[in-house]
């Protein structure tokens, strides 16, 4: 694999790729603005928990490399302050750019990160239909929607879009 990378990328770029690939991963936390929280609120809680973080280029996101257990034990996810969501999914929502009053169909909705984020962008005005083939994962999505006070905006639909 390394020989292939060097052949396609050159030695310098292949080394950069290998160093990046060996680096510690991070978790992205998205603040739940629907519940009235801001990124500063989340940052303050992380500081109280002594969890090191870095701010993302996206306003709703913070990255942590360690300290997820502290976040879980403090109940930040259960109380609806934030959700674990990869920033790449957040970029998708930024491209869709949901606006209040719109109706959105998420055709592969579970486990719900993009669905919840899109619903939060509707500011209480609009609907998101969350379609997924997996009933159990839809149930988890709707539990998260309740936690984030978005269950009145999101409707779950158990089904297979191919059918």
113 is in an annotated binding site: yes
The annotation status of 36 as a binding-site residue, yes or no, is: no
The strand pairing partners of 64, in sequence order, are 27
Token readout for 67 is: 């300290």
Give CA–CA dist 88/126, Å, rounded. Answer: 24
User: In the chain, which residue ranges form alpha helices assigned H by DSSP?
Assistant: 2-9, 11-21, 39-48, 68-73, 87-96, 113-121, 135-147
Was 112 annotated as part of a binding site?
A: yes
Query: Binding residue per annotation — 101?
Result: no
Does 152 count as an annotated binding residue? no
Q: Is 110 annotated as a binding residue?
A: yes
147 assigned binding-site residue: no
Closest by Cα among 78, 136, 84, 138 to 109: 138
Distance (Å, whole) CA 115 – CA 19: 34
Q: Is 124 annotated as a binding residue?
A: no
Residue 59 labelled as part of a binding site: no
Extract the annotated binding site.
108-114, 132, 160
Extract the annotated binding site for S-adenosyl-L-methionine.
108-114, 132, 160
């Amino acid at each position: 694999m390394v020989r292939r990378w060097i052949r396609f990328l050159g030695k310098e770029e292949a080394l950069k790729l290998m160093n990046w690939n060996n680096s510690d991963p991070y978790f992205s936390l998205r603040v739940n603005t629907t519940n009235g929280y801001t990124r500063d609120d989340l940052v303050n809680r992380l500081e109280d928990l002594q969890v090191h973080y870095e701010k993302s280029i996206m306003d709703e996101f913070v990255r942590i490399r360690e300290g997820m257990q502290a976040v879980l034990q403090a109940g930040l996810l259960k109380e609806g302050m934030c959700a674990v969501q990869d920033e790449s999914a957040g970029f998708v929502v930024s491209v869709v750019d949901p606006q209040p009053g719109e109706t959105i169909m998420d055709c592969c909705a579970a486990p719900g990160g993009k669905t919840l984020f899109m619903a939060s962008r509707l500011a209480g005005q609009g609907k998101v239909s969350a379609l997924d083939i997996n009933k159990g994962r839809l149930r988890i999505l709707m539990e998260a929607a309740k936690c984030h006070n978005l269950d009145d905006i999101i409707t779950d639909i158990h089904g297979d879009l191919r059918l």
